Amino acid sequence: MNFIWAFIILIGILVATLTGKLNVTNEVILGDAQEAIVFAISLTGIMSVWLGLMNIAKKSGLIKSFGNLMKPLTKLLFPTVPPNHPALSAIIMNMVANMMGAGNSATALGLKAMEDLQSLNKNKRVASDAMCMFLVINMSSIQLIPLTVLKLRKDAGSIFPEEIIITSIIATAISTIVGILVCKVFEGRESY
C-alpha cells in the first residue's frame, strides 16, 4: 500500500506538472479530502443499522445456524476460520449485499467481517490468509443487476440494455475464480 500510494500521487503530480495543470493538486486537497469525510459520515448510518441487526442475529443464534448452512463453501475458502465464527456470517452477508447492489450495506458488513477476522489474526499488522481471500472475492464480485450501467445504456438508446447482464455475470465468475486460485497459491507463505 505504501508504494502504491506514493506511486499514484507522484505520477499524478508529475503529469500535472508536465501538462501545466498543477493547480489540480490544490483543488483535490480542498475538495476530495472533504468528500472522504462526508462519505465516512454518510456510511455511519448504514453501518449502525447492520451492526445493530447483526448483534441481534448473533444473540438469537441465527448467525450460528446460518454459518452451519454455509459450512461447505466457507470451509473451502476460509479453512483457518472456525465454523460458526461470526466472521463467516458477515462475509456471506457482505457477498449477498454486494450481489444485490446494496453497496453501502455491503461495506458495513464487510468492515464487520474484517473486524471479526482480525480477532482471529495472530499478527495484527499483517493480513491473514482469510483476509486476503475475503478481500479478493469482495473486489471481484458484482451486483446481479448493474443498475447504473443499464441506465447509461438505456439513455444512450440501446436496443437491448440488459444483454450485458449475462456477459457481466460470466466475466465476474471467471475473474472471481482466478482471484481465488491466486490466493490459494499464495496461502501460508510469509512474504515474497
* Footprint of other proteins on 139-158 (CB under 8 A): 139-146, 148-149, 152-153, 156-158
Give the residue from 136, 141, 74 showing the smallest Cα distance to 101. 141
As measured in angstroms, the least distance from the Cβ of 133 to other proteins is: 8
As measured in angstroms, the least distance from the Cβ of 55 to other proteins is: 3
**Contact pick of 71, 78, 97, 122 for other proteins (by CB under 8 A):** 97
The stretch among 19-27, 70-78, 80-88 that binds other proteins (CB under 8 A) is 19-27
- The conformation of residue 152, written as its DSSP 8-state character, comes to H
How many residues touch other proteins under the rule CB under 8 A: the total is 110
CA distance 102 to 110: 12
CA distance 56 to 53: 5
- The angle subtended at Cα 158 by Cα 155 and Cα 162, nearest 5°, is 100
- Asked if 124 is part of the footprint of other proteins (rule: CB under 8 A), the reply reads yes
As measured in angstroms, the least distance from the Cβ of 70 to other proteins is: 14
CA distance 141 to 191: 26
Asked whether the beta carbons of 142 and 173 are under 8 A apart, the reply is no
DSSP string, 76-98: HH-TTSPTT-HHHHHHHHHHHHH
The stretch among 68-76, 80-88, 179-187 that binds other proteins (CB under 8 A) is 179-187
The stretch among 67-75, 80-88, 100-108 that binds other proteins (CB under 8 A) is 100-108
User: Whose Cβ is closer to other proteins: residue 74's or residue 116's?
Assistant: 116
- Asked if 160 is part of the footprint of other proteins (rule: CB under 8 A), the reply reads yes
The stretch among 18-26, 67-75, 78-86 that binds other proteins (CB under 8 A) is 18-26
User: Whose Cβ is closer to other proteins: residue 73's or residue 152's?
Assistant: 152
Q: How many residues does the chain have?
A: 192
CA distance 106 to 156: 29
